[in-house]
Amino acid sequence: MERTIEQQLAAGDRALSWTVGVSMEPLLHARKSTVVLEPPKGPLKRGDVVLYRRPAGEYVLHRIVKVLDGAYRIRGDNCYRSEKVPAGWVIGVMTGFYQDERDTYTSCDSPAYRKYVKTVPLRYTALWLRAFPGRVYRKLQRIVNRRRGEGI
């Protein structure tokens, strides 16, 4: 009988999984990248990529952007919104990955990966700036629609 990722990690084993979605691009690509996950060993830190499970049952693989008391502020590399995640939701931490169906393994301890992690805050700023005009437009649309509804 095949075990779930959660069962493998709870047993102290390593787990492999494909990624789904675009939230961790450009590092990981949907259905092309494979991540290596291990159970958390010790305190997690800013920059760690963790797998957590929301109460609705969905698994999410995102990066810790801030360590809080008993929780983490977590966001995907390709997202501008973050989420507060209780420490109890975290079930694994990424220790490496195979990018784009390649056989080449990249460890999270490698210099190339560490170099990428240093660029994440800059990438987030660029993403936020690219999304800003659309957010302003939608906000103005809501204001205009609200005023029209009030008969002003």
| CATH no., domain 5-149 | 2.10.109.10
Span 109-132, pLDDT tens digits: 999 999 999 988 887 787 778 878
User: What would the mean pLDDT of 62-77 be, rounded to a whole number?
Assistant: 96
Q: Is the pLDDT at 53 greater than 60, yes or no?
A: yes
pTM of the predicted model, to two decimals?
0.80
**What's the mean per-residue pLDDT of the chain?**
90
| Alpha-carbon separation of residue 75 from 16, 31, 72, 101 (angstroms) | 21, 20, 10, 24
Confidence of residue 47 (pLDDT cuts 50, 70, 90): very high
Confidence of residue 65 (pLDDT cuts 50, 70, 90): very high
| Alpha-carbon separation of residue 130 from 27, 75, 134, 136 (angstroms) | 19, 17, 8, 11
Q: Is the pLDDT at 152 greater than 90, yes or no?
A: no
Query: Domain map of the chain by residue range?
Result: 5-149
